[in-house]
Structure 1
Amino acid sequence: MFTDHGTFIIGFSVAKNHLAVAPESAGIDRFSEEIVQAGYDHTKQLVRFRWDRPVDFSLIQKMIEFNIEDKADCSTFWRK
């Protein structure tokens, strides 16, 4: 997990077939179309970057930047 001023920004976890990236549901909602266009699978809470495909690091960077900006005034760990 990565945080900024005490609020969650993004989380990463490793699974057998993919890297799971969790930018909270607001990040998924904001980038859902780009995620699908890039060929990735997602749920309401995470994006699956398969190990057998290249990782779109620019997409991950956009999700991080979105959360940092969107949560600049957030005083809680999770969005409410």
Structure 2
Amino acid sequence: MAFYSEFLDQLDNQEHRMVLEKVLDWVSETYPQLGGKIAWKQPMFTDHGTFIIGFSVAKNNFAFTPESVTISKFETQIEKTGYTHTPNIVRVPFDAKIDYELIGKMIEFNIEDKKDYSNFFRK
């Protein structure tokens, strides 16, 4: 059973649960070297103890948080998807097409950029 099952079990909307479960499964399968944990009431993926990406849920969307440095780097690509974002989160409507390529690029950027990083979050 995946580390995020209990988190998903708390979602009332089964369609939303299925969307987020598919995304979390994709991250787990595509990046099996990443560790997973629930922190701040959300599923997060880590590499050697440092934060790589986290996910949260709102009424009409889920969000992922790869840290502001990464959002800034990929801002143009995020905007091309039609997703909205702040400096800290990217919102994906539950009925939108999931851009796994973009999410993957952000994960890979964080893995590489933080390979020698020892803190959980960037300072």
TM-score band, normalised by shorter chain = over 0.9
Bigger relative contact order (CA 8 A; separation at least 6): 1
Cross-structure match for 1:11: 54
Provide the rounded CA distance (Å) in 2 between the counterparts of 1:53 and 1:2.
Answer: 23
Question: Quick check: 1:34 aligned with 2:77?
Answer: yes
SS at match of 2:70: helix
The alignment's TM-score, normalised by the length of structure 1, stands at: 0.96
SS at match of 1:34: helix
Cross-structure match for 1:21: 64
Give a deviation string over 1:1-51, Cα, whole Å, max 9, x none: 111001000001121111100000011011000000111100010100101
Question: Quick check: 1:70 aligned with 2:113?
Answer: yes
Structure 1 stretches lacking a partner, 5+ long: none
Report how many residues are paired.
80
CA RMSD of aligned residues (A): 0.7
Structure 2 stretches lacking a partner, 5+ long: 1-43
Which letter does structure 2 place at the counterpart of 1:17? Answer: N
Cross-structure match for 2:29: none
The alignment's TM-score, normalised by the length of structure 2, stands at: 0.63
1:35-50 to structure 2, matched below 5 A, reads 35-50=78-93
Query: Following superposition, which runs of at least 4 residues in structure 1 exceed 4 angstroms of deviation?
Result: none
Cross-structure match for 2:96: 53
SS at match of 2:52: strand
SS at match of 1:59: helix
SS at match of 1:79: coil
Q: Larger radius of gyration, structure 1 or 2?
A: 2
- Percent identity over the alignment is 61
Provide the rounded CA distance (Å) in 1 between the counterparts of 2:112 and 2:84.
Answer: 25
